[in-house]
Structure 1
Amino acid sequence: MGVQYGFGRHVWDINPDHTATVIMYDYLTQTFGIAGGTLGRIAFIVFVVGLLGTKKAYRVILWVLVALQVVTNGMFIIILFVQCPGHASAIWSQDGKGKCWDVRVQAYYGYYQGSFNSATDLYLAVFSTYIFWNLNLKLQVKMGLVTLLGLGLFAMVASIIKTVQTRILAHADDDPTTATISLDRWLYIETYLVIITASIPCIRSLLRPFGRQTTGTGQSTYELGSPYAGRSGARSRRLTPTVPGKGMMRISDRNASADDISEWDGTDSDRVDEPAASKKSIHVYV
């Protein structure tokens, strides 16, 4: 809609009556971009909590990240629309009727918001690497799992570039209908990369037949199950761990994929009887 009214063209080349409308759509563009990236990161964090949050400390840190994502990015959206108190339309009408904050407030907070999102992407990649690298798995399995869960580094790079572009917010009045083009582009590149990289680890689960719980070799599999989700659903297999105070994950190296991480397993007597030749899994205590 913004492009139809002239977004991307110099302010002196479009109908003066459309200038305020173009700027308004630009603000909405930034709002949806910020919200999309935030929801994508939260979704991935929740995914990681269920997959790797086997220790209370890990779960606490990850849930704190969720809260900080909501607060940090939510505050930026609020700042976008309250920088002219009592006269919100003055943000895009620029009629001088409203007294607005210094434009550097929006720019400086944008630096913080972008830096925090970049740091979050880096932490999630490093956290996943740390967890899997310390497990007794084949190198190719480790590399596969680390790669799947570390793809957020691409989103981090886009976030850094977008953060650098935030400087334009401090002097966008020079040509408001073209000033934020690069910022908006990288904002949406970042958002889509967050969504894509957070979704890739789950692709195999979507491609498999619904309700399928065993492989062709008879091996039981649980698609990316939570290691502590035994209290929900009939598919849960949370049983008493063989080592007091520790939970046990059963990780298959059959296809070196993150979707073969199973839920809590129990003692040998509690496991499903399967042919020994068909099982290629290891038990890892965490």
Structure 2
Amino acid sequence: MVSWVALAISVSFNSYIVSLGFGRHIWTISHESKREINLFTILVATFGILATTLSKTSFALTLYRIVTNAWTKYFLIFVIVTINLSMNLVWIFGFAKCTPLERVWDTNVPGVCWDKTHLVRYQLFAAYYSAILDFVLAFLPWPILMAATMRRRERLGVAIAMSLGAIAGACGIVKAVLVVHMTSTDITYDRVDLTIWTLTEPAASIMAVSIPVL
């Protein structure tokens, strides 16, 4: 539920920046609108990341409850801690990258910012790591459920339902490929696809988490 709310907030912010001109070339947009777009683009990413990490955490906790092997439980704890740390650092760095803070969204404010190259490299790492964990969590239920005392058809049905997180993993890979557009100067145009997939990944993850419950 919390991840769904975070995603809804992110989509709402995205709709707002579209009304300001996000999707058009940057030279066709006023400075005031660009400043708003810069700020709310970061907020779109922030709440999108929160939706992603919360949904993955929810699924990992579901698996934690049904597994009996101690090492698998330790691994799931590792997954929960590392996915939250690696992903949430992306939006934290997004706000911390410039001094003063206002320079993050207003380039006319005097100040200094971190090297974009280092930020993009970290974002690439976080995006691919998130996608890899989607696939790991998608296939982890199979050995657990195949050993369960259920009818074969039921085991297969539940295992397939719990493996739909692989769709989120595929979305995550597409997003990771598009992260290179973070260095573009025409941010309002070139980052459109990246923003779409930033919202698609948590949406797919939330659906994958919800289906087994249904």
Question: Could you tell me the TM-score, scaled by structure 1's length?
Answer: 0.66
- Of 83, 96, 108, 1:82 maps to 96
Q: Give 1:16-55 correspondences, 5 Å limit.
A: 16-50=31-65, 52-55=66-69
3-state SS, counterpart of residue 2 of structure 1: helix
Q: Give 1:13-162 correspondences, 5 Å limit.
A: 13-50=28-65, 52-84=66-98, 86-95=99-108, 97-135=110-148, 137-162=150-175
Tell me if the contact between 1:107 and 1:168 (Cα under 8 Å) persists in the aligned partners.
no
- Tell me the C-alpha RMSD between the 2 structures: 1.5
More helix by share: 2
- Of 197, 200, 206, 1:195 maps to 206
Where relative contact order (Cα < 8 A, 6+ residues apart) is larger, the structure is 2
How many equivalent residue pairs?
199
Q: Which runs of 4+ in 1 moved over 6 A?
A: none
Q: Tell me whether 127-136 or 57-66 shows the greater mean CA deviation.
A: 127-136
Residue 5 of structure 1 is matched in structure 2 by 20
Map Cα deviations across residues 116-137 of structure 1 (whole Å, 9 max, x no partner).
1111111112211122234465
Tell me if the contact between 2:42 and 2:91 (Cα under 8 Å) persists in the aligned partners.
no
Matched letter for residue 130 of structure 1: P
Tell me if the contact between 1:155 and 1:194 (Cα under 8 Å) persists in the aligned partners.
yes
* Structure 1: runs of 5+ lacking an equivalent: 204-286
Map Cα deviations across residues 46-72 of structure 1 (whole Å, 9 max, x no partner).
11111x221222211111111111111
Map Cα deviations across residues 148-175 of structure 1 (whole Å, 9 max, x no partner).
1111011110000001011111x22x21
Question: Could you tell me the TM-score, scaled by structure 2's length?
Answer: 0.87
Is the radius of gyration larger for structure 1 or structure 2?
1
* Structure 2: runs of 5+ lacking an equivalent: 1-15
- Of 193, 210, 214, 1:182 maps to 193
- Quote the Cα distance in structure 2 between the aligned partners of 1:23 and 1:77: 13
Tell me if the contact between 2:95 and 2:104 (Cα under 8 Å) persists in the aligned partners.
yes
Identity %: 24
Map Cα deviations across residues 59-97 of structure 1 (whole Å, 9 max, x no partner).
11111111111111111111111111x312212211261
- Quote the Cα distance in structure 2 between the aligned partners of 1:24 and 1:74: 17
Question: 1:111 offset after TM fit, Å?
Answer: 0.9
Map Cα deviations across residues 175-228 of structure 1 (whole Å, 9 max, x no partner).
12222111110011101000011011111xxxxxxxxxxxxxxxxxxxxxxxxx
Matched letter for residue 84 of structure 2: V
